[in-house]
Structure 1
């Protein structure tokens, strides 16, 4: 029986409230008006466990970047707006942000929300020249958002689900012991894209693999995945693939472990807060994640950042949101280069821009505003130097896939505003 070494606190949300919603962090050297960035993501309800840590991460990084001068001397100011993972509530919060003069919007939990924000921000910007807003997408990864739905006002800082599946299936094709795969995903646009891409790419790269299950379940509604775990075990699957995130990731991982299913669990978001402590040693060498980062580092500065963030917020730096650091570094670079914090200036500046992160170079592709990046396949291990959620468990690198092996083509036909 696994005993938690230092349990992930169920009271963490309460503990964090004063940190997340306290007065905005002020910059040390910057003396200009702050640039407010509004995060529209779930801060209450069943998916708050993915919304609260992203606010904590951005506030944590704002302290560091503000001490380095912020955005051309303007400090980052971070505010959280609760959307309860609802497209309708997201539009209400977007209007509140617009009424407050906020011109930078961050969101990523839910591609249906992302689609609604793209349409609403496009409409706002057409009607309000000089007051344009930018949508900075940290994780709504349905490929449609940078293909037929692409927008000049939308930038995605996470790999699309097609890019992740491309990287994951490139690894699977060499795993000859994987002959039967079970797919289980959330029943909305993102989950369906994960399933579709898995079937398409496995058929191309490993036509001998049999898909022995392809389930969809309601988003953030399932409290017990036991019936799904039972079906997966009965299928004889050699591997399970899931794009689940948040509570749906945590509970699915727990029930698979409870059933003693020892097939590799190949995920997009095993780093969802709570997974590590729910599965413990039962996840070691079993739970994989395809992601831009992993839970170990040879860089002592990054390792110290993990320790500092966990001590300050009770959330982990490595597991879920390092892509926010990439986003904020790129915003800072664009502002410093242009001498401006106007969204239009920064949008043009970020097209084609690269930033060097600890796992490699990240480049914002001009054609569709999709970040191009290396990916890392990692697996849960014990006795890690930088443990997650107060334990000794974290995700160790199995393989690193270079950006050119991750990239996917785009059908985007970008319409850019005039710069007259």
Structure 2
């Protein structure tokens, strides 16, 4: 009996340790799953679920299976805070979000305050697509990490390409009326003015976010302005419907965009007949030419039946695993410390670094154009028969802007 008691005393702690190792590691996915942003939100959810499955097959993160917890924020900052609190109450210590910088700012502030009030119960916010520069400048937070390039980094690269395109004479700016759209218009004006002062800004329009159902009045203004090029940060239905209205009106201009590859965008471009006239800046794309990334794209499409819109989400989850292994812990405080200045080989090739000063991931970025495919380009988009072509690659050292972040550290 005494031997049995001793055996149980030894076994019980071991069982407890095994159970702990197998506990799920929950990641709260806070993005629109209803309303005007639902198409991009659903695509992001499927992406993160795929990434979780991929890591779980290999043992998860330090033996913890990853569970993606979907939380619908309807692209609304206040609703996002409700969902974030719900996640925390359910034991979530990591949240990820991307669609809407106004949401991103609200979540960053919420997490920062939560962590100061609840030491030992910290939460990290992993940002995969909210690109307002303020999030890594005046509003920076130790508890926020961004894997997408900020909008000023993207505009710096985009205007470097545009300045050498002599045919650009008149540019129209049209953007969504919230923090991100406002930063796109501000950066475009400033950078084009400095690099190509001869270019005329012939229109500058802001419209409500995900509320416009008919863009024909806006297209009529663009047409009347005589613009040869449009710069827009529009995403989701605001891009697809904008291009649809352009097709209906027969508007043939060049488009310089951030998110033309999102849901509905490629179909609208094909319908407009803009072969080689729509440009996008991203951290990767399907026909990038990188074999490992293209193999990944093929496997992803076969299982998810979607294009990989977010290579940065792949980088985010892989770096999360690397940081946890470096820290030998899934404690958010230790993972945050391990992420700082972490160098990482990104999906589409080359090395990136999570800059310690502001928690902005710096990485190679690409300019691509959309049109008819060549024999070396296997991936079309939305069954259009058209796909993305490489125009320019900007390596990490050239894909940087300075930061004004004065980070308060725990």
TM-score, normalization: structure 2? 0.91
Offset at residue 407 of structure 1 (A): 0.7
Cα 1:80–1:283 shift into 2, 3 Å: farther
**Which deviates the most, 153-162 or 390-399?**
390-399
Match of 2:191? 201
SS at 1:285's partner residue? coil
Q: Deviations over 1:82-137 (max 9, x none)?
A: 00000110010011001001010101111111111111111110111111000101
Instruction: Tell me if structure 2 keeps the 8 A contact 1:153–1:347.
Output: yes
CA distance in 1, matches of 2:194, 2:292: 41
1:255 Cα deviation from its structure 2 partner: 1.7
Cα distance in 2 for partners of 1:98, 1:62 equals 19
> Alpha-carbon deviation of 1:274?
1.2
Number of residue pairs matched?
A: 386
For 1:169, the equivalent position in structure 2 comes to 159
Q: Deviations over 1:59-96 (max 9, x none)?
A: 11222222233212222211110000001100100110
1:239 lines up with 2:229 in the alignment = yes
Question: 1:302, CA displacement in angstroms?
Answer: 3.0
**1:411 corresponds to which residue?**
404
Aligned pair partner of 1:290 in 267, 281, 286? 281
CA contact (8 A) 1:159 1:372 kept: yes
CA-CA distance at 1:392 after TM superposition = 2.4
Question: In structure 1, what is the Cα distance between the partners aligned to 2:292 and 2:314?
Answer: 14
SS at match of 1:378: strand
CA deviation map 1:228-247 (0-9, x unaligned): 11111111112100000111
What is residue 46 of structure 2 aligned with on the other side? 56
Residues 286, 293 of structure 2: 8 Å contact kept: no
Q: SS of 2:145's equivalent?
A: strand
CA distance in 2, matches of 1:366, 1:44: 35
Partner of 1:142: 132
In structure 1, which of residues 181, 192, 211 is the aligned counterpart of residue 182 of structure 2? Answer: 192
Kindly state the Cα deviation for residue 32 of structure 1 after the two structures are TM-superposed: 2.4
Q: Provide structure 2 residue ranges, at least 5 long, that are not aligned to the other structure.
A: 1-19
Describe the SS at the equivalent of 2:22: coil
Residue in 1 that maps onto 2:313: 324
Shift of 1:31: 5.8
Per-residue deviation, 1:310: 2.7
Q: 1:340 aligns with which of 325, 329, 333?
A: 329
Distance in 2, Cα, partners of 1:195 & 1:364: 26
Structure 1 length-normalised TM: 0.89
- The ranges of structure 1 where at least 4 consecutive aligned residues each deviate by more than 4 angstroms after the TM superposition are none
Which of 101, 104, 107 is matched with 2:97 structurally? 107
Verify the 8 A CA contact 1:114 1:137 in the aligned structure 2.
yes
Which is bigger in relative contact order (C-alpha 8 A, separation at least 6)? Answer: 1
Which residues in structure 2 correspond to 1:118-157 (within 5 Å)?
118-157=108-147
Q: Secondary structure at the match of 1:241?
A: strand
| Contact 1:254–1:275, Cα closer than 8 Å, also in 2 | no
* Structure 2: distance between partners of 1:61 and 1:192: 32
Please name the residue that 1:350 is paired with: 339
Instruction: Tell me which of 369, 373, 383 is aligned to 1:379.
Output: 369
Q: Distance in 1 between matches of 2:297 and 2:138?
A: 38
Matches within 5 A, 1:181-330: 181-280=171-270, 282-317=273-308, 320-330=309-319
Displacement of 1:301: 4.3
Please list the CA deviations of residues 160-181 of structure 1 after superposition, one character each: whole Å capped at 9, or x if unmatched. 1110000000001101110111
| Deviation of the 1:280 alpha carbon | 1.7
- Report the CA distance between 1:300 and its aligned residue: 4.3
**SS at the partner of 2:406?**
coil
Select which of 377, 386, 398 maps to 1:393: 386
Contact 1:38–1:79 at 8 Å: present in 2 too? yes
Deviation of 1:294 (Å)? 2.0
CA deviations 1:186-239 (Å, max 9, x no partner) are 011111110000000011101111000000000001001111111111111121
In 2, Cα distance between equivalents of 1:406 and 1:257: 33
Distance in 2 between residues matched to 1:91 and 1:303, nearest whole Å: 37
Q: Rg larger in 1 or in 2? A: 2
Q: Distance in 2 between matches of 1:380 and 1:184?
A: 20
| Residues in 1 aligned to 2:286 and 2:197: alpha-carbon distance in whole angstroms | 33
CA contact (8 A) 2:284 2:366 kept: yes
